[in-house]
Structure 1
Amino acid sequence: MNIIGKVTHDAQVRTTTDKRQVVSFSVSVNDSYTNKQGERIKQFTFFDCSYWLSTGITKFLSKGTLVELSGRVSANTWTGKDGNAHTGLNFHTSQIKLLGNVGQHTNPTEQKEPVTADRDNGTDDLPF
């Protein structure tokens, strides 16, 4: 599955109990449509994302960066400290394409080729 959205906060590296490192970040996917009354309706879907291949990508995943992600989605449910049930969407990322930062490119023709990190083949096209 592929999604395109904006990073909602700077990515962070976490270390698991078995000493593995994972990059954690979240992405907002925005959509809009016009209803029968002619009103523009905006919808936002938030994904908590994890990326296990390379922690070097962290410096490129800052708030507002437009990314295209490939991977799989899973749902998560939990009970909060307040006792209420909560649900969320997790995106297990296998490939990241950096499409740019907010306001970085005003003209789409000026945009450079996206940078890609790919988990599937174990290669990294990132400049680090």
Structure 2
Amino acid sequence: MEIIGRLTADATIATVTGNKQVVNFSIAVNDYYRPKGSTETKKLTTYISCAYWISTKVADLLKKGTLVQVDGRIGINAYSVAGEPRAKITLHVNKIKIYPVKSSPAAAPVVAGATAPADDLPF
């Protein structure tokens, strides 16, 4: 699954069992729609929790407000709070593309994670 959104806060690094480290961050995706029979446009924001296990070096680049494109698989975490069942969807990211800020239009995006070899392109 591929998603484009803005970081809602600076990325954090957590250490889990076996001294493995994971970069955790959350992105916001905005969607706009017009309800049937209305002339007013509504805005819907979806927040997606992300986990990146490949390298912690990318955490320095993942700052609040940064526009990113992430690619990965969906995971579901089930838990309970005060006996009430809850669930959280997390995107387990295997590729991150960080888009440059508008002040430097000639800059190319930074890509972290696996990329296809140049000779494996479909065109």
TM-score category, normalised to shorter length: 0.7 to 0.9
Paired AA for residue 98 in structure 2 = L
- Give 1:113 deviation, angstroms: 1.0
Q: Which residue in the other structure is 1:60 paired with?
A: 61
Unaligned runs of 5+ in 2: 117-123
Q: Which residue in the other structure is 2:108 paired with?
A: 113
Rounded to whole Å, the distance in 1 between the matches of 2:70 and 2:24 is: 13
Confirm or deny: 8 A CA contact 1:76 1:89 kept in the other structure: yes
Name the SS of the counterpart of 2:19 in structure 1: coil
Question: In structure 2, do the counterparts of structure 1 residues 55 and 28 end up closer, same or farther at CA, with 3 Å as the change threshold?
Answer: same
Q: Structure 2-normalised TM-score?
A: 0.83
Question: In structure 2, do the counterparts of structure 1 residues 85 and 12 end up closer, same or farther at CA, with 3 Å as the change threshold?
Answer: same
Paired AA for residue 41 in structure 1 = K
Name the SS of the counterpart of 1:53 in structure 2: coil
Unaligned runs of 5+ in 1: 122-128
Larger radius of gyration: 2
Name the SS of the counterpart of 1:32 in structure 2: strand
Identical residues among aligned pairs (%):
37
Q: Which residue in the other structure is 2:49 paired with?
A: 48
* CA RMSD across the alignment: 2.0
Q: Which residue in the other structure is 2:32 paired with?
A: 32
Confirm or deny: 8 A CA contact 1:94 1:120 kept in the other structure: no
Q: Which residue in the other structure is 1:78 paired with?
A: 79
Rounded to whole Å, the distance in 2 between the matches of 1:39 and 1:57 is: 40
Rounded to whole Å, the distance in 2 between the matches of 1:13 and 1:120 is: 23
Question: In structure 2, do the counterparts of structure 1 residues 69 and 27 end up closer, same or farther at CA, with 3 Å as the change threshold?
Answer: same
Confirm or deny: 8 A CA contact 1:77 1:87 kept in the other structure: yes
- Give 1:19 deviation, angstroms: 0.6
Confirm or deny: 8 A CA contact 1:71 1:95 kept in the other structure: yes
Confirm or deny: 8 A CA contact 1:11 1:62 kept in the other structure: yes
Name the SS of the counterpart of 2:58 in structure 1: helix
Paired AA for residue 35 in structure 1 = P
TM alignment of 1:12-31, pairs within 5 A: 12-31=12-31
